[in-house]
Chain A
Amino acid sequence: MNMVMNGLRPIDILLVEDSADEAELTMQALSEGRVRNRVHWVEDGEEAMAFLRREGRHAAAPRPDLVLLDLRLPRMSGQEVLLEIKQNPQWKRIPVVIMTSSDDEKDILSAYDRHANCYVTKPVDLDKFLEAVRSIEDFWLTIVRLPAA
């Protein structure tokens, strides 16, 4: 199977998640995946924008190959971050996977309307949560051909 960038450098994932517990679980599941990756964790929407803009402590931040974005975030919501990414000519091609506990059909519609690449609901059950992250890792890092830049 063709894996983009395999071996050349790790895949940079921007994880935007305000819950430390869920961020740790996500990072754990991603570190067990087959494809080498580096997770950059930020806790709110403004921090995510600072990372993308390489502001402040993110001056040396890489361009993420993939964004995992929670919707319910302090300061700036996930939907706002999504809009900023998908309206910006520099960033719009970065795949954004929404990972949220929200099951609300309105959130799902609104995310796809704003060109989210994909929407996944985080299960409450621990094992199922890990399984969902593994499914995302398996699909987006091994099957999908990510944009090269």
Chain B
Amino acid sequence: MKLLVSLALGGVILAGGAFAENAGDRAAGKKLAGQCRTCHGIDGKAQIPIAPHIGGEPADYIVHQLTAFRDGTRTHEMMTIVAKSLTDQQILDLAAWYSGNTISTTLTNDPADAPEVCVACHGVDGIALIPDAPNLAGETNIYIDTQLKAFRNGKRTQELMTPIAKELTDVDIRAVADWYSEVQIEIKMVE
């Protein structure tokens, strides 16, 4: 933690790919990502506010979420449909493609103000520090807000997030969402 907190304001950290230990085929994933690009971008930088950035996302997290959308344990107006037809291998391929791109961040606020309850897993700058957590850097604040509320009301469940979200008020949630949404990001495609 100390290491992260000592980052200078405006400092840049590189991440992404660090957790990519899976049997996915990146080339096959890139091809499949043609179905994802309209919303998530071919590099994983979201094209529309409702979609999260998934370039440089931990592979485990992508696999877990696509599987959850496919199985119906997580639902969304759009993702429920596109995940339905994916095979296990295709999910691994997509995860390999997107997680293998890199994301870098620039903080625009004082790192001392980062939400304490989140940083152990999601980092001060919103780059995940554990394999099954999403990057939050630069996401639309309403996306993060919506997910935290879904954890709080039980629509989405996860062993760590469910109890944390239950303790948060609407105002807390929006503060967390605003913090991470204000982090500037750059996603680079790695071929």
Q: Do A and B bind each other?
A: no
Point out residues on B near A: beta carbons under 8 Å. none
Residues of A whose CB lies within 8 Å of any CB of B are none
